[in-house]
Amino acid sequence: MAPEADAQPAPVIIVGAAMGGLRTAEALRKAGYTGALTVIGEEIHAPYNRPPLSKDALSTGVTHEAVAFPQRPATADVDWLLGVRVSSASLAAKTVTTTDGVSHPFRALVIATGIRPRRVIPSVSEGPRSLSGRHTVRTLDDAMALRDELVPGARVVVAGSGFIGCEVAATATKLGCEVTVVSPSSRPIIRPLGPVLAAELQRRHEAHGVLFRLGRSIAVIEGDTRLTGIVLDDGSRLAADVLVEAIGSDCNSDWLAGTGLDIANGVLADAGMRAIDVDGNAHDDVYVVGDIARFPNALFDDVARRVEHWNIPTDTGKRAGAVLGAWLAGDAAFTEALALPFTPMPAFWSNQFDIGIQAYGLPGLADSIRQLEGDLAGDCIFGYYRGTRLVGVVGLGMKAALLPYRQQIATAEAEAATTAR
Ligand SMILES: Cc1cc2nc3c(=O)[nH]c(=O)nc-3n(C[C@H](O)[C@H](O)[C@H](O)COP(=O)(O)OP(=O)(O)OC[C@H]3O[C@@H](n4cnc5c(N)ncnc54)[C@H](O)[C@@H]3O)c2cc1C
C-alpha cells in the first residue's frame, strides 16, 4: 500500500550520515521525492570519504575539508542532525529515539549505520580501552588522533593483516615508524587474495621494512595510562608506542534490537534494499544501505552477503532511493521499480607503498585461483574461479587490462543466471 496523503507527513529519516546515507538522500530527491528528509548521524562531521583515512590523508595530515563529499544542490534542503546518536527504533510506532530521549516520527526509515572496528580482546589481560597509544581507524577523528602519533621512530604494532591493517602499516612505515604486523593469519590479506598473491604482498611489505608476526595473536596489552608493549600468545614481547587495532568489524545494529528485523549479521534486505524481518517479510517503509546491508546479488547467487566495499554504499543507496521514492510516489511506480534487476559489481582498490591493488567481483567465493597475466614480481592479474566461472579478478597494477575480466564476470554470471531460469 502506498502511504496515505497527509497534511504534514512525517519525514523520511535516514540514520547514519556517511556515504550510504548521503547517496540515498540524493537518490530519493532524484526519484522525485520532495518531502521532508532528515539525516541523523552520530559523528559531528558532514559525510566524508573514508578510504584516504588509512592512505594519503593519514600520511599528509587529515582534515575534513580534504575528504568531505561535495554537497549537491539536490540535498541542500535536507535536515542534518549531526553529533546525534539513535538509541532505538519502533517500526510499529514509526519512530526512532535519540540518546537525548527525543522521539522522531518517520514516514519511512533508511538504515545506513555501517560498521565499527572490533577491538583486540586479549585472553590474559587487557589494558584500558582509553590507554593512550591504542587506536582504531574508522572515523576522521580516529585518523586525526593516530596521525599525531605516527612520528619517525615510533614503534607501531598493527593488529590485523587485512586491507586496513596493511594500508596503515605501509603509511606508518613511509612516515618513518618501525612497524610490526601481528595477525593469526598465515599471510596478509589471504582470504580474498589467496596464498600466492598474499605471499607476494608480504614480500613487498618486508622489502620496505615491515615486520610480520603471523600465526600469532595478542595476549596482553601492557601499560598503565600509556601503552608500553604487547605480549603475544607465544609469550614474546614487543615494545610498542602505538597499537592500531584493525582486526575486523561489528555492525552498528544495536539500536534495531526489538524491532523484529533480521539483524543476525548486519541487517537483511531483499534486492530492492527493503529490510526483511525475522519472519521473512519485506518492509516497504524500511530500507538498508551500505556496509551494514546483507543483500542478495543475482550476479553471483541468491545468498545474501554484506560487502564492505566503497561502491556498495553508492549502489545500494541509489537502489534504495529509487525504490523508496517509487513507494512514496504510488503503487504502480513501486512495483515497476522493484521489478528492475539489481546486480552491483563489487569493486575494491587499495594502495600500499607503490602497489596499486584493484579488485572486481567476489574473489573470496573462489575454489581455485589462476595467474592470468603479467609477472608476479611486477604487475600482474589473478583470476578467481568458482568451478569454471570467473567470480573475481585482482590486479597489481594493470588497471586497464582488468576491465575485460570485469566484463567477463558480469557476462558469465548473467549467462549462467539466464540458463538456470
Ligand atoms: C580506513 C578505511 C579505508 C578504506 N579504504 C577502502 C578502499 O581503499 N577501497 C574500498 O573499496 N573501500 C574502502 N573502505 C570501505 C568504505 O569506506 C566503506 O565501505 C564505506 O565507508 C561504508 O559507508 P557506509 O555509509 O555504509 O558506512 P559508514 O561509513 O560506516 O557510516 C555509518 C555512519 O553511521 C553512523 N552511526 C552508526 N550508528 C549510529 C547511530 N546509532 N545513530 C546515528 N548514527 C550512527 C556512524 O557514526 C557513521 O558515520 C575503507 C574504510 C575505512 C574505514
145, 94: one domain? no
Q: What is the pLDDT of residue 417?
A: 46
From the alpha carbon of 349, which atom of ligand 1 is closest?
A: 9
* Residue 290, ligand 1, Cβ within 6 A: yes
Q: Which of 186, 219, 247 is the last residue of a domain?
A: 247
34, 71: one domain? yes
238, 142: one domain? yes
Asked whether residue 3 is assigned to any structural domain, the reply reads no
**Which of the two residues, 275 and 61, has the higher pLDDT score?**
275
| Nearest-CA residue for atom 10 of ligand 1 | 310
**Three-state secondary structure call for residue 372:** strand
Q: Which of 219, 247, 275 is the last residue of a domain?
A: 247
From the alpha carbon of 291, which atom of ligand 1 is closest?
A: 26
pLDDT band at 406; cut points 50, 70, 90:
very high
242, 254: one domain? no
Contacts of 199 (CB under 8 A, 6+ apart): 187
139, 221: one domain? yes
pLDDT band at 225; cut points 50, 70, 90:
confident
* Residue 115, ligand 1, Cβ within 6 A: yes
Q: Which of 339, 369, 400 is the last residue of a domain?
A: 339
Residue 126 reports pLDDT greater than 60: no
Question: Judging by DSSP bridges, how do beta strands 115-117 and 237-239 pair with one another?
Answer: unpaired
State the distance from the centre of ligand 1 to the C-alpha of 80, rounded, in angstroms: 17
Quick check: pTM over 0.85? yes
We report the CATH number of the domain holding residue 415 as: 3.30.390.30
State the distance from the centre of ligand 1 to the C-alpha of 315, rounded, in angstroms: 14
Q: What is the pLDDT of residue 224?
A: 84
Residue 125 reports pLDDT greater than 80: no
111, 256: one domain? yes
Q: What is the pLDDT of residues 343-361, one digit of tens each?
A: 999 999 999 999 999 999 9
Q: What is the pLDDT of residues 85-105, one digit of tens each?
A: 999 999 999 999 999 999 999
**Which of the two residues, 128 and 402, has the higher pLDDT score?**
402
287, 374: one domain? no
State the distance from the centre of ligand 1 to the C-alpha of 313, rounded, in angstroms: 9
Q: What is the pLDDT of residue 131?
A: 84
Asked whether residue 178 is assigned to any structural domain, the reply reads yes
Structural domain of 397: 354-420
Best CA proximity match to 358, nearest among 308, 307, 406:
406
Domain count, the chain: 3
* Residue 275, ligand 1, Cβ within 6 A: no
Asked whether residue 305 is assigned to any structural domain, the reply reads yes
Residue 414 reports pLDDT greater than 80: no
We report the CATH number of the domain holding residue 243 as: 3.50.50.60
Q: What is the pLDDT of residue 1?
A: 47
218, 262: one domain? no
* Residue 246, ligand 1, Cβ within 6 A: no
Q: What is the pLDDT of residue 331?
A: 79
Best CA proximity match to 233, nearest among 248, 213, 249:
213
State the distance from the centre of ligand 1 to the C-alpha of 189, rounded, in angstroms: 20
DSSP code string of 147-181: HHH--TT-EEEEE--SHHHHHHHHHHHHTT-EEEE
Asked whether residue 349 is assigned to any structural domain, the reply reads no
Tell which one of 100, 251, 252 to mutate to probe ligand 1, the residue whose CB is within 8 A of the most ligand atoms. Answer: 252
Best CA proximity match to 323, nearest among 73, 45, 24:
24
